[in-house]
Amino acid sequence: MMTALVIIEGVVILLLAILVAGLLKSHAEILRQLAALGVTEDGAVSVGTAQTRPRTTGMERAPANTLHGVNLDGSEQTMSLVHGRGPTLVAFLSSGCLSCQTFWNELQGDIELPTPDTRPVIVTKGPGSESVAKVRDLAPTRVPLIMSDETWEAFRVPMTPYFLLVDGAGMVMGEGAASSWRHLLGLLRQSARDAMPAGLDAEGREAFTDLQLRQAGIEPGDGSLYSNPLEKGS
Partner 1 sequence: MPRISRSGITVDVPDAWEGTISGGDFQLESDGAVEPTVMHVASFPLPAERGSFGTGAVELMSTSDVFMTLFEYGPESAGTPLFEAEGIPRQFAAREFDRNALQRAMPGQTGLQRFFTHEGRAFCLYIVLGSHVDRADILPRVNAVLETLEIG
- Residue ranges binding partner 1 (CB under 8 A): 65-66, 68, 71, 73, 75-80, 82-85, 88, 119, 141-145, 223-224, 227, 229-230, 232-233
Taking the C-alpha atoms of residue 103 and residue 134, their distance in angstroms, rounded to an integer, is 15
Report, in Å, the least distance between residue 73 CB and partner 1.
6
Nearer Cβ to partner 1, position 38 or 144?
Answer: 144
Report, in Å, the least distance between residue 222 CB and partner 1.
8
Chain length of the chain: 234
Nearer Cβ to partner 1, position 88 or 191?
Answer: 88
Taking the C-alpha atoms of residue 98 and residue 31, their distance in angstroms, rounded to an integer, is 9
Q: Helix H segments across the chain?
A: 2-37, 101-108, 132-138, 149-155, 181-195, 202-215
Pairing mode of beta strands 171-176, 60-61: antiparallel
Nearer Cβ to partner 1, position 53 or 232?
Answer: 232
Report, in Å, the least distance between residue 81 CB and partner 1.
9
Q: Answer whether 10's CB lies under 8 Å from 2's CB.
A: no
Report, in Å, the least distance between residue 107 CB and partner 1.
11
Q: Which of 150, 165, 3 is nearest to 69 (CA)?
A: 150
